[in-house]
Chain A
Amino acid sequence: MESNKKYWKGLEELQNTKDFVEKNKNEFAESLPMEEVLNEAGLSTVTPRRDFLKALGFGLGAVTLAACQKTPVHKSIPYLVKPEEIVPGIPNYYTSTFNGHSILVKTREGRPIKIEGNPNCILSKGALDAKGQASVLDLYDVSKLKGPVLNDADTSWEKIDQFVKTELSKTGGKSIRIVSSTVNSPSTKAVIADFIAKYPSAKHVQVDAVSYTGIIKANEASFGKAVLPRYRFDNADVIVSFGADFLGSWISPIEFNTQYASKRNAAALKGGKMSRHIQFETGMSLTGTNADARIPLKPSEEGIALLNLYAALGGAVSGGKKLPNQKAETGVMLAAKELAAAKGRSLVVSGSNDIATQTVVNAINSLLGNYGTTVDLDNPSYQYTGNDADFVTLVSEMNSGSVGAVFFLNSNPAYEYADPKAFTDALAKVALRVSFADRKDETASLCQVIAPNHHYLESWGDSNPVEGYYTIAQPTINPVYNTRNAEQGLLIWSDNAVQDYYQYIQNNWSKAGLTQGATGWKDLLQKGSVTMTAKGGGAYSSAGNVAAAVSAIVAESNALAKGGDNAVELHIYESTGIGNGKLANNPWLQELPDAVSKVTWDNYAAIGPKYAEKLGIGENDMVTVKTDKYEVTLPVLIQPGQASGTVSIAVGYGRTMAGKAAVEVGKNAYPFLRLVNGTLQGNAAATISKAGGIYELAQTQTHHSIEGRNIVRETTLKDYLKDPNHGTGHGHVNHVDLWNEYEMPGHNWVMAIDLNACTGCGACIVACNAENNIPVVGRDEVRKRREMHWLRIDRYYTVNDNGSKVTKEDEMEDMETMDNVSVIHQPMLCQHCDHAPCETVCPVLATVHSSEGLNQMAYNRCIGTRYCANNCPYKVRRFNWFNYWNDSRFDNYMNNEFTQLVLNPDVSTRSRGVMEKCSMCVQRIQAGKLQAKLDKRTLKDGDIKVACQQTCPTNAIIFGDGNDPNSEVAKALKSERTYYVLEEINTKPGVGYQTKVRNTAEV
């Protein structure tokens, strides 16, 4: 059945604004000076014969001279003593740890060039997120410090050690504090414990920029366990989330993506089952876009909704109130019904950092019997262990002058604390201030001593992200700059018996009995992690004080919704790409389009379309958002699905001292955080007002129009179970051919993308950047639609109006709110069409078909006519407008000789004036084939994994040989849900998509 549902990429397209229509007529964002050249003046200009000859002569001369360049002499410098394990041209892989996930680091000739998940990792299962993929670029960041700094002057480590030791001995009765973000490394903890043993006045304060203290404290109150539980979305049939963006940023997104998809992927559907996901939230988060039902809520309503849910499930709530929003109330009742039907197989989570709210969540999960099945308190997570109150205490201690020395380890409170002024004022009263930051960041610049820490790829380390799981980090390159492990510093300053951190880790591991099961240290390094037998997750029943929580929640709700002129409820969130801002200086992440809004290089104030209309604010208008303690002026992004009367702003932007890429990118939203009942809250009552002026956000979303074609296809679980073919649009394609079939006697490289598994997280985009040397073009070029990503994730909005389909624009105009939008993410890359429209228009045969089904692009043959891009129905071809690797205007990463070390030597960097596009990682295909030939065997399915597939946490992308009937991809493409984008124009794409299935329920 052909779907007649209306999909749109952005509001401009939906409303068909004049600007959008005008823009879409043209191939390019800016108008070409065609008229100027062809107008009368241009044509009637007299070009004297002599001028012409002069120009000709000069041109010829210049070209001749330019061609007379001497052939450069290339040096070839072999190793003096070659390390045994290195063979030039062959990559080595080492295990290491990123953010508690075991990873594999690909190194070539001794330099790390790509990060991949370790298939042994129990959290990631071999996948990785955008941040992990991008982290390799930070190794080559030129903004980092080149050596230790003492009082703003470069110095040596000996002088640093001498200075710090002397100062520490002078602290006297004053206390010493080590401030860090969450430390879950057993060895770092031991080092800090040893340090504290030497200096008994020392204390370790852990504080996270985006805090989870609320959950930890609530668990302490409810169960006597001050831990972050391990959530098991793979055991949950019904998931109800209140503002927890668990697929994008909440606690452990890679793990949750993997778990979440396991209940919704092709295998689950084959079994006729699919989890049901209901999301209540303010802003449109990545998780919200994936929900089967999404109900927009104001921050003030979230707690109330939870209370009502608790009450509906049979919990005792006295003093609660009704939600002002009738639709939300219905949603809560529906959720209650479904949760009650799935006791022990359901999960309720909340993104709030409020202890009272989390106490209610605990009560609900306890009521549903979810402890032991979907919430595991016995094998808790140590990914976030920070405590907001501890840091608040520290600030007052520092302010009172009782702190003599403070150390900052992976912590930057001057930027990420809710009250930076109070912090910096208090810090000035501390005698010894030491930062281990790798750059002179906001906090480090206020410290006397900066003892730059290694990048994680340069250092030894370990981590214990969840109970019973330990990973090890090993250096994959010699330290690039004169840096030192922070732990090494602490060992030296505390006169530890073991001063070498590597030795210390080894001792610590054998002391803690972690080397058990491994035949030795080397064996351990090869595996990368140790997994202990998990404890049986027992059932728990909540003993939290719900009555107290109710009054706290209601009071807080009333405070948030206090009303008044221009009143708006502010919602602070963490974005998927930039996250908490620690990786803000990473150009790959800055150019990664936001998972929902597709905005790059900026944060913004997101408000709903109808609400914006009411306020008289348009897209890109500058607005001032003001609370009683802080204000920022940001451009507006009109976000369909945003709760009316709210504004959402992302943290992680507005870094002032992180480096070149991060500077002048967005505004800092951390100071909006409020301390309520001992935890920092990401919501506030605010006012919004027009600030005047317009700032164009660099969005990749609106660049092309889909012209009303059926590009994304979806169905509902009910329809799918009745007819698996439902929604694929099969039966409308006419297979009459003008061209001959291509013979593919050997391999036929094809891909299958499951829209139901894809959550749109964007890890694949960064993986593709790293693998294929894709340039970063910067904000201005993105505005001109010149981003270079070979793989993009298209996000389509559509409207669900109580189950009935909305098909016409005017119907949508009439709708009261634009709240009830639903979203589909679609990874879009070169489709490697067998009848590729690009191939037939290339005048120089730069793009031709291969006998293995690939659409090949020979860069050095391309003359840049751009006919192919114009003729590509999928708009996946990218044109190099500049020499991004040799042009000071694009000083992002490729232009720097040092940062260029991250480039993949097997992929050529493209020159100005040529077209490029997804090659299906042909370098990996060739390498895989060669390995098979060298081993004298046939190629096995799974030998070759393309970069996007390798990193996908949900296995939404499957690549392989279509000629092999037993390959995963061949099986996936045989699925009834398979359809090809624009099948009807008979391009015969090599990439098949599987329809999105929504588990919609009858309201």
Chain B
Amino acid sequence: MRSISLFFRSVTKSLILVSFLAVAAVSSASAQDVAAGGAIFKQKCTACHAVGKVVVGPDLKGVTERREEAWLLKWIKNAPALIASGDPVAKEVEAFSPAAMSAFPELSDDDVKNILAYVKAEETKPAADPKAAGGASAEGGSGEISNFMIFGLIAVIIIAFIVIVVLNRVIRTLERVMLQKQGVLVEDDEVVPGDRLAGLKRLTKNKKFILFVVLLLVIFLGSAGWMGMWETGVHTGYQPVQPIKFSHQLHAGVNKIDCQYCHTGAFTSKNASIPSLNVCMNCHNYVTASDKYDGKTSPEIQKIYHALDYNETTKQYGNNTKPVEWIRIHNLPDLAYFNHSQHVSVAGIECQKCHGPIQTMEEVYQYSPLTMKWCVNCHKETEVNHKDNPYYDRLIAAHDKLKKGEKVTAAVLGGLECSKCHY
């Protein structure tokens, strides 16, 4: 079933692609390179423009009809100069938004033409959209079905198995009842199992064997209990399902966004802080991942819009807001005080030291045990980052006198004392 749907999906996809390419090839009379234009468009234009939608700048749909190509060439390459020259059309366009169009002197005329070709090609794309959307929904549906099918099958097999077992037992009992009624079977039942379990019975009377078993059990349960108790309250690997499928792998790994861009508090405060949604909107204002969702905004990004009651056309936040309730992964008990800025800014510790390879995590899990032993061990090993920080001068001077040659760890500076964390 699954493979069939996959097959269908790939077929529709390739069909769409082929038809799209054909249309594009036909429509681009000037035979400009749509693909090259697309690449530039994505690199330089998507921040403010889209085809068929107003982003920061105006909707580019039909722009080649609205404006002359010569004017467009001038405008795209150096809009501020065109406005300054007093061009009436430029003035009119400038009035569209307070955000000014940047100059792109690095673009050649061909590049601009390629972009325009791409825009033109994009205009015709919506015609193929319904099919694409259908394909997407079919895909989603097939995924659900296949999962349901697998679990359903397993359930059916289990139920069938149970039915068979129960029926078997019922049949056996009925047979026995019939036999008993007929007076055929009386002692058989007792004798047969007795014979079978005779060896076991003898074993249960063997004291050495029992001692051995008990000892084994005690050792096994004891060690399991001991290990279990050490792990009590330790949630390494805790990976709850979050309300938004935010991927650190994509943001921190692929896009290499600096941790501090979102977790602003890490440098200055005790809390690293989960970014407020307006920080997300700095990018997701225009980054909608629509290319992966056939022109529509990604459903995960839509969750941000929904939470903020953000209107994509007017670009305004509404009043019907619903805060995002993230599940907290790193739960340090209240009795311990932890300050991010001390570790990140002062000590200069990488986020990964405690949070693990966060840049590869599709979904975040707790990497470190967050136990006191773990804290203490690190404080015993980590050298204090005292270079260029006059705060430490006096301490270091004192310790240099005392312990020549030894390394100055956090523990040496009192990092193991109770009131460093508990107050």
**B34 close to chain A: CB less than 8 A:** no
Q: Which B residues between 251 and 286 are near A, CB-CB below 8 angstroms? A: 264-265, 268-271, 273-279
A81 to B390, CA, bound (A): 37
The residues of A that contact B391 with a CB separation of less than 8 Å are: 929, 932-933, 936-939
Q: Closest CB-CB distance, B151 to chain A, in whole Å?
A: 25
Which residue on B lies nearest to A925, using beta carbons?
B419
**A984 close to chain B: CB less than 8 A:** no
The residues of B that contact A851 with a CB separation of less than 8 Å are: 413-414, 417
Which residue on A lies nearest to B317, using beta carbons?
A81
A852 to B416, CA, bound (A): 12
The residues of A that contact B395 with a CB separation of less than 8 Å are: 745-746
A469 to B321, CA, bound (A): 44
Q: Are B393 and A87 touching (Cβ within 8 A)?
A: no
Q: Are A938 and B327 touching (Cβ within 8 A)?
A: no
- Of A80, A861, A922, the residue contacting B276 (CB under 8 A) is A80
Q: Which B residues between 309 and 333 are near A, CB-CB below 8 angstroms? A: 317, 321, 323-328, 331, 333
The residues of A that contact B341 with a CB separation of less than 8 Å are: 930, 934
Q: Are B321 and A856 touching (Cβ within 8 A)?
A: no
- Of B279, B317, B324, B339, the residue contacting A77 (CB under 8 A) is B324
A846 to B402, CA, bound (A): 28
Q: Are A860 and B323 touching (Cβ within 8 A)?
A: no
Q: Are A75 and B325 touching (Cβ within 8 A)?
A: yes
**B423 close to chain A: CB less than 8 A:** yes
**B297 close to chain A: CB less than 8 A:** no
Which residue on A lies nearest to B322, using beta carbons?
A80
Q: Please judge, given known A-B contacts A746-B398, A852-B414, A930-B339, whether A80 and B278 are in contact too, CB under 8 Å.
A: yes
**B40 close to chain A: CB less than 8 A:** no
Q: Are A858 and B276 touching (Cβ within 8 A)?
A: no
Q: Are B423 and A78 touching (Cβ within 8 A)?
A: no
A163 to B327, CA, bound (A): 49
Q: Are B334 and A908 touching (Cβ within 8 A)?
A: yes
- Of A73, A852, A923, A938, the residue contacting B394 (CB under 8 A) is A938
Q: Please judge, given known A-B contacts A851-B414, A858-B422, whether A88 and B325 are in contact too, CB under 8 Å.
A: no
Q: Closest CB-CB distance, B271 to chain A, in whole Å?
A: 4
Residue among B279, B335, B418 facing the most chain A CB atoms (10 A cut-off): B418
The residues of B that contact A934 with a CB separation of less than 8 Å are: 268, 341, 345-346
Q: Are B418 and A858 touching (Cβ within 8 A)?
A: yes
The residues of A that contact B334 with a CB separation of less than 8 Å are: 908-909
**B235 close to chain A: CB less than 8 A:** yes
Q: Are B323 and A80 touching (Cβ within 8 A)?
A: yes
**B249 close to chain A: CB less than 8 A:** no
Q: Closest CB-CB distance, B171 to chain A, in whole Å?
A: 42
A939 to B392, CA, bound (A): 10
Q: Are A848 and B308 touching (Cβ within 8 A)?
A: no
Q: Are B335 and A860 touching (Cβ within 8 A)?
A: yes
The residues of A that contact B308 with a CB separation of less than 8 Å are: 80-81
Task: Convert A70-86 into 0s and 1s, putting 1 for each residue whose CB lies closer than 8 angstroms to a CB of B.
Answer: 01011111111110000
**A102 close to chain B: CB less than 8 A:** no
Q: Are A75 and B326 touching (Cβ within 8 A)?
A: yes
Q: Are A850 and B414 touching (Cβ within 8 A)?
A: yes
A929 to B331, CA, bound (A): 25
Task: Convert B387-423 into 0s and 1s, putting 1 for each residue whose CB lies closer than 8 angstroms to a CB of A.
Answer: 0111111110011001000000000011001111011
Q: Are B265 and A78 touching (Cβ within 8 A)?
A: no
For chain A, what secondary structure do more than half of its interface residues adopt (helix, strand, loop), or is it mixed? Answer: loop
Q: Are B275 and A78 touching (Cβ within 8 A)?
A: yes
Q: Are B342 and A930 touching (Cβ within 8 A)?
A: yes
The residues of A that contact B342 with a CB separation of less than 8 Å are: 930, 933
The residues of B that contact A923 with a CB separation of less than 8 Å are: 337, 423
Task: Convert B276-309 into 0s and 1s, putting 1 for each residue whose CB lies closer than 8 angstroms to a CB of A.
Answer: 1111000000000000000000000000000110
Q: Are B273 and A919 touching (Cβ within 8 A)?
A: no
Q: Closest CB-CB distance, A151 to chain B, in whole Å?
A: 33
Q: Are B326 and A76 touching (Cβ within 8 A)?
A: yes
The residues of A that contact B275 with a CB separation of less than 8 Å are: 78
Q: Closest CB-CB distance, B4 to chain A, in whole Å?
A: 40
**B240 close to chain A: CB less than 8 A:** yes
A846 to B417, CA, bound (A): 11
Q: Which A residues between 319 and 367 are near B, CB-CB below 8 angstroms? A: none
Q: Which A residues between 847 and 889 are near B, CB-CB below 8 angstroms? A: 848, 850-852, 854, 856-861
Q: Are B327 and A74 touching (Cβ within 8 A)?
A: yes
Q: Are B265 and A87 touching (Cβ within 8 A)?
A: yes
Task: Convert B146-160 into 0s and 1s, putting 1 for each residue whose CB lies closer than 8 angstroms to a CB of A.
Answer: 000000000000000
Q: Are B389 and A933 touching (Cβ within 8 A)?
A: yes
Which residue on A lies nearest to B326, using beta carbons?
A76
Q: Are A936 and B390 touching (Cβ within 8 A)?
A: yes
A923 to B420, CA, bound (A): 9
Q: Are B413 and A746 touching (Cβ within 8 A)?
A: yes
A900 to B398, CA, bound (A): 43
**A615 close to chain B: CB less than 8 A:** no
Q: Please judge, given known A-B contacts A745-B399, A936-B391, A939-B391, whether A81 and B277 are in contact too, CB under 8 Å.
A: yes
Q: Closest CB-CB distance, B398 to chain A, in whole Å?
A: 4
A80 to B304, CA, bound (A): 9
Q: Are A76 and B277 touching (Cβ within 8 A)?
A: no
The residues of A that contact B307 with a CB separation of less than 8 Å are: 80
Q: Are A90 and B389 touching (Cβ within 8 A)?
A: no
- Of A75, A89, A857, the residue contacting B327 (CB under 8 A) is A75
Q: Are A848 and B278 touching (Cβ within 8 A)?
A: no
Q: Are A88 and B326 touching (Cβ within 8 A)?
A: no
Q: Please judge, given known A-B contacts A87-B268, A906-B337, whether A78 and B324 are in contact too, CB under 8 Å.
A: yes
Q: Closest CB-CB distance, B301 to chain A, in whole Å?
A: 15
Q: Closest CB-CB distance, B393 to chain A, in whole Å?
A: 7
**A926 close to chain B: CB less than 8 A:** yes
- Of A80, A745, A908, A930, the residue contacting B422 (CB under 8 A) is A908
Q: Are A78 and B398 touching (Cβ within 8 A)?
A: no
**A1001 close to chain B: CB less than 8 A:** no
A939 to B389, CA, bound (A): 11
Q: Are B277 and A89 touching (Cβ within 8 A)?
A: no
Which residue on A lies nearest to B307, using beta carbons?
A80
The residues of B that contact A746 with a CB separation of less than 8 Å are: 394-395, 398, 413-414
Q: Are B419 and A922 touching (Cβ within 8 A)?
A: yes
Q: Please judge, given known A-B contacts A75-B325, A78-B277, A81-B276, whether A848 and B417 are in contact too, CB under 8 Å.
A: yes
**A55 close to chain B: CB less than 8 A:** no
The residues of B that contact A861 with a CB separation of less than 8 Å are: 418
Q: Are A77 and B335 touching (Cβ within 8 A)?
A: no
Q: Are B398 and A82 touching (Cβ within 8 A)?
A: no
Q: Please judge, given known A-B contacts A71-B235, A745-B395, A937-B390, whether A850 and B276 are in contact too, CB under 8 Å.
A: no
Which residue on B lies nearest to A906, using beta carbons?
B337
- Of A75, A80, A88, the residue contacting B271 (CB under 8 A) is A88
Q: Are B235 and A745 touching (Cβ within 8 A)?
A: no
**A60 close to chain B: CB less than 8 A:** no
Q: Are A89 and B271 touching (Cβ within 8 A)?
A: yes
The residues of A that contact B389 with a CB separation of less than 8 Å are: 933, 936
Q: Are B417 and A88 touching (Cβ within 8 A)?
A: no
Q: Which A residues between 886 and 937 are near B, CB-CB below 8 angstroms? A: 906-909, 919, 922-923, 926, 929-930, 932-934, 936-937
The residues of B that contact A930 with a CB separation of less than 8 Å are: 339, 341-342, 346
Task: Convert A359-389 into 0s and 1s, putting 1 for each residue whose CB lies closer than 8 angstroms to a CB of B.
Answer: 0000000000000000000000000000000
Which residue on B lies nearest to A109, using beta carbons?
B271
Q: Closest CB-CB distance, B210 to chain A, in whole Å?
A: 23
- Of A74, A745, A856, A859, the residue contacting B331 (CB under 8 A) is A74
Q: Please judge, given known A-B contacts A746-B398, A930-B341, whether A73 and B240 are in contact too, CB under 8 Å.
A: yes
Using a CB–CB cutoff of 8 Å, the interface residues on chain B facing chain A are 233, 235, 240, 264-265, 268-271, 273-279, 307-308, 317, 321, 323-328, 331, 333-335, 337, 339-342, 345-346, 388-395, 398-399, 402, 413-414, 417-420, 422-423
Query: What are 9 A-B residue pairs whose CB atoms fall within 8 Å in the complex?
Result: A75-B325, A78-B326, A80-B308, A80-B321, A82-B278, A88-B271, A859-B335, A933-B345, A936-B391
Q: Other than the known A71-B235, A78-B324, A851-B417, what 7 A-B pairs have Cβ atoms closer than 8 Å?
A: A79-B323, A80-B276, A89-B265, A860-B333, A909-B334, A919-B419, A936-B389
Interface pairs A-B: 9 shortest CB-CB: A745-B398, A89-B269, A82-B276, A858-B418, A79-B276, A89-B271, A74-B328, A856-B419, A89-B270
